[in-house]
Amino acid sequence: MLQPVYVLGGGQTKFGELWDFSLADLIRSAVDGAIAATKILPTDIDAVVIGNMLGGETAEQAHLGTFCSSLLPHHPPALRVEAACASGGIAIHTACALLESNRAETVLVIGAEKLTDVAGELVTSALMHAADAEKDGPSGLTFPGIFALTATAYMHKYNLSRDDLSLVSALSHKAAVKNPYAQFRKEIPAASISRSPLVADPLRLLDCSPITDGAAALILSTKHESGVRLAASQIGTEALSLTDRASITSFTSTKTAFANALSEAGWKRNDIDAIELHDCFSIASLIHLEDMGFAPEGEAIQLYKQGDTDIDGACPINTSGGLKACGHPIGATGVKQVLDCFKQLTKQAPNQVQNAKRVLAHNLGGVGATCTIHLLESI
Ligand code: COA
């Protein structure tokens, strides 16, 4: 980072099917929570950035930057950014750019999405806007369908069994039991995941992150200090269309963003004490861990089998419950992941990793076309 960026704290709504709340209600609630948690004055906020993908399509509300700015008495500059499921991570990166360039000293970052007021088919087709409309769209694939292709390719290439894949979702569901903000707070054994209804072969219902409403907000500052600093904020991208990729079992965007983040922070991989990982589909978690070098290609499942991904393991994953069990309100996810990392470092996490000092948030947009990595450390 060009100068120290501190995470002052944040707030979030519960994630879930929140029929009694509009997109505006969710944003207001997360912003109020963030301001109350950090005890800054609303007028201390110099700029607002919101990450959102589908406000116009699913909540009839676009122009969200100014909507958020209107919640503050002094109407600071504000903008909305979009990078599909990585919209939240991109919002944080944009806030860092404003802070590092001295355009602002304190920035309110929000991620929000309201998906459940419209029919599921509309959400499914709107989410496909994250893929390449000319090359991938005409195939008729959906996101569960695309990740099912990656799962089929991966399972064939590395001989991964259906029951092994179920270990990934089981871990997230176990963690979410203690998280009051999570959509699904029920422990689900791997055997039940393997038997859940088929969505897109080989992916079953319990391999998929759900359709979710929710919002999260964070306050970042170069002026006000806290015990948690952002050590790196990086974006990686790669070809939008799957047809232009050399591989569908690895995402270059993650490799690039992670390597650049380690170099920006001056960390080594094994400095990281916990990871919030973008488990939009169970197979994705294995791919991400391999792309970041936590396991050789085809072997990430061993981390789950050996207990390395558990709360007391070498590499605890998704101690919040991840996207799978917390839910995945698209634009909110990347902001909520960094809030969870902040909670981990300030001992407010629902599942606390002992002596966690350095943590990672990995947020993915599309089928790995965009990746943001945020590294946070306690100081
Ligand atoms: N995990 C756990 N439970 C889930 C769930 C999930 N992913 N999705 C739904 N459920 C539960 C519901 O709560 C409901 O339970 P209930 O009957 O007790 O109320 C039941 O399963 C059926 O839910 P329903 O909403 O009818 O499911 P659906 O078939 O309409 O949708 C998916 C299921 C998996 C197709 C949908 O959640 C989906 O498309 N997920 C992926 C979203 C996506 O692509 N995001 C972008 C990622 S890149």
The pLDDT-based confidence of 352 (bands split at 50, 70, 90) is: very high
pLDDT tens for residues 62-74?
Answer: 999 999 999 999 9
Mean pLDDT of the 307-334 span: 98
Ligand 1 center–CA 135 separation, angstroms: 27
**pTM given for the model:** 0.98
**Percent of the chain at pLDDT above 70?**
100
Nearest partner of 91 among 322, 365, 300, judged by Cα? 365
237 DSSP β-pair partners: 370
Is 68 labeled as catalytic in the residue annotation?
A: no
The full set of domain ranges for the chain reads 5-119+212-221
Mean of all residue pLDDT scores within the chain: 98
- How many H helices and E strands in the chain? 13, 11
Residues with CB under 6 A from ligand 1: 85, 120, 124, 127, 143-144, 184, 199, 205-206, 208-211, 280, 328
Q: Which residue owns the Cα nearest ligand 1 atom 3?
A: 206
Look at residue 211 in the predicted model and tell me its pLDDT.
98
**83-120 burial by CB neighbour count: b if 16+ within 10 A, else e?**
bbbbbbbbbbbbbbebbbeeebbbbbbbbbbbbbbbee
Nearest partner of 261 among 271, 249, 248, judged by Cα? 271
Ligand 1 center–CA 274 separation, angstroms: 27
pLDDT of residue 181 exceeding 90:
yes
Ligand 1 center–CA 208 separation, angstroms: 7
Q: Where does 5-119+212-221 sit in CATH, by number? A: 3.40.47.10
Q: Which residue owns the Cα nearest ligand 1 atom 28?
A: 120
Rounded CA-CA distance 254/100 in Å is 23
Is 328 labeled as catalytic in the residue annotation?
A: yes
The reply to whether omega before 202 is within 30° of 0 (cis) is: yes
Ligand 1 nearest-atom number relative to CA 17? 13
Look at residue 288 in the predicted model and tell me its pLDDT.
98
Active-site option among 93, 278, 328, 374: 328
Look at residue 39 in the predicted model and tell me its pLDDT.
83
376 DSSP β-pair partners: 230, 359
pLDDT of residue 152 exceeding 90:
yes
pLDDT tens for residues 89-136?
Answer: 999 999 999 999 999 999 999 999 999 999 999 999 999 999 999 999
Look at residue 363 in the predicted model and tell me its pLDDT.
98
Look at residue 141 in the predicted model and tell me its pLDDT.
95
The pLDDT-based confidence of 234 (bands split at 50, 70, 90) is: very high
Look at residue 18 in the predicted model and tell me its pLDDT.
98
The letter for the amino acid at 355 is N
Look at residue 275 in the predicted model and tell me its pLDDT.
98
Query: Phi and psi at residue 105, in whole multiples of 5°?
Result: -105, -25
Ligand 1 nearest-atom number relative to CA 367? 48
The pLDDT-based confidence of 42 (bands split at 50, 70, 90) is: very high
* CA end-to-end span of the chain: 15
